[in-house]
């Protein structure tokens, strides 16, 4: 029998974690559960303001988290933090299953030093984010936001049918996809179904044979920015990618292009984006993630008429919850069975 601590939240529900663990491992284990109040209470992002011991995107007070885990051998969580100091107070902990792609709420090096196996769930919400991205793109290219906002004001925008004002079809556009990981590859696949010309920039991976044979091009960043009618971001945040979209790179984008960010806020210099939207160099933008979340009241981009905004919900779907819990449960099963992990960190 293993002692398993589950720290869920109001998205990754503790009950779903428990049910999937019981399905995978049987019901002979001692399982305790705690629910964090996210997303009703914002997490600590740790980007604009340094997080606890360098951790990012977490929620929970260290002392309360440590007390709850206690002598459990296994922790399953999405958002609970684990710093080096916390790990020192948890000598019985041997496995941490994090139900997210980037376990930035865990000090991975400290876990390795303590002999704690950390596993994650890469691609758990890749389908959800890719679908959302296509919706975001269509909201801009087909003027869905523009028409919706006008009609909310009882303004009938029949002029949007004018040839000089109407939107464009993806079948006649070139879309640049920056980042070709779990999400980027799915976005490319969905765009191909529209007949879109797709450019990809990712210096660390090669295109799949399927995408290459379908006419997708692997290009430099400068080439992508110069040719794309719309640019969509999908890389991870790193020192290399932080603020990769800035005054210089926005200036290289095609005049009248559209910018979409459903990835992470720190990838973009939003002050520079604001200037390019106000000047008319960029036609519009769709923003789903931000440097500071929640977005501050009075933030200039909230007031622009050519911006669509959503509150970082691209990865949220019912399937994401069950799929991520299944991935975590399989890692727990393998640990108990003495098998190597599927997704070690």
State how far the Cα of 220 lies from the Cα of 202, in Å rounded to an integer. 8
- Averaged pLDDT score across all residues of the chain: 96
What are the two backbone dihedrals, phi and then psi, of residue 131, each rounded to the nearest 5 degrees? -60, -45
The predicted structure's pLDDT at residue 264: 93
pTM over 0.85: yes
The predicted structure's pLDDT at residue 291: 87
Residues with a known catalytic role = 264, 293, 312
Is the pLDDT confidence value at 49 over 70? Answer: no
The predicted structure's pLDDT at residue 117: 98
The band of 122, judged by pLDDT with boundaries at 50, 70 and 90, is very high
Domains of the chain and any CATH numbers: 2-120+317-337 (3.40.50.720), 126-309 (3.40.50.720)
Contact 253, 244 (CB under 8 A): no
The predicted structure's pLDDT at residue 88: 96
Which residue has 């293993």 as its token pair?
A: 2
State how far the Cα of 38 lies from the Cα of 312, in Å rounded to an integer. 13
Is the pLDDT confidence value at 292 over 90? Answer: no
| CB burial of residue 279 (10 Å; 0-12, 13-18, 19+) | exposed
Tokens at 2, concatenated: 């293993």
Q: How much of the chain exceeds pLDDT 90, in percent?
A: 95
Reported as type and span, the H/E element at residue 188 is: helix 182-193
State how far the Cα of 264 lies from the Cα of 288, in Å rounded to an integer. 8
DSSP 42: P
Mean pLDDT of all residues in 45-61: 84
Least confident span in 52-61, 128-137, 225-234: 52-61
DSSP β-ladder status, 257-261 and 230-233: parallel
Task: Give residue-wise pLDDT tens across range 75-97.
Answer: 999 999 999 999 999 999 999 99
Which residue has 């710093």 as its token pair?
A: 83
Task: Give residue-wise pLDDT tens across range 175-231.
Answer: 999 999 999 999 999 999 999 999 999 999 999 999 999 999 999 999 999 999 999
Is the pLDDT confidence value at 137 over 90? Answer: yes
DSSP string, 97-162: EESSS--TTB-HHHHHHTT-EEE--TTTTHHHHHHHHHHHHHHHHTTHHHHHHHHHTT---GGGGS
């Amino acid at each position: 029998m293993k002692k398993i601590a589950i720290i869920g939240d109001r998205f990754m529900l503790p009950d779903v974690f428990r049910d999937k663990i019981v399905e995978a491992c049987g019901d002979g284990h001692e399982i305790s559960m705690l629910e964090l109040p996210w997303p009703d209470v914002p997490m600590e992002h740790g980007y604009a303001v340094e997080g606890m011991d360098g951790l990012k995107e977490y929620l929970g007070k260290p002392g309360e988290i440590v007390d709850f885990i206690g002598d459990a051998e296994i922790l399953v969580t999405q958002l609970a933090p684990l710093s080096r100091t916390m790990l020192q107070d948890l000598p019985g902990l041997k496995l941490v299953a994090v139900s997210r792609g980037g376990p930035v709420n865990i000090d991975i090096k400290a876990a390795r030093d303590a002999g704690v196996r950390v596993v994650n769930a890469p691609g758990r919400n890749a389908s959800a984010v890719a679908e959302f991205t296509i919706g975001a793109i269509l909201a801009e290219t087909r003027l869905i936001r523009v028409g919706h906002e006008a009609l909310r004001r009882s303004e009938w925008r029949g002029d949007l049918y004018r040839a000089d004002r109407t939107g464009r079809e993806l079948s006649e556009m070139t879309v640049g996809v920056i980042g070709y990981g779990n999400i980027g590859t799915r976005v490319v696949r969905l765009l191909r179904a529209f007949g879109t010309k797709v450019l990809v920039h990712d210096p660390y991976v090669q295109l799949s044979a399927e995408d290459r044979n379908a006419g997708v091009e692997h290009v430099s960043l400068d080439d992508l920015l110069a040719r794309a009618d719309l640019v969509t971001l999908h890389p991870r945040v790193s020192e290399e990618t932080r603020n990769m979209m800035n005054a210089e790179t926005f200036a290289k984008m095609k005049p009248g292009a559209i910018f979409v960010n459903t990835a992470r806020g720190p990838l973009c210099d939003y002050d520079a984006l604001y200037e390019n939207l106000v000047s008319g160099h960029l036609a519009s933008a769709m923003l789903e993630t931000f440097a500071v979340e929640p977005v501050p009241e009075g933030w200039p981009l909230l007031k622009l008429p050519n911006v669509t905004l959503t509150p970082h919900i691209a990865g949220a779907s019912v399937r994401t919850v069950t799929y991520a819990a299944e991935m975590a449960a399989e890692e727990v099963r393998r640990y108990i069975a003495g098998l190597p992990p599927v997704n070690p960190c």
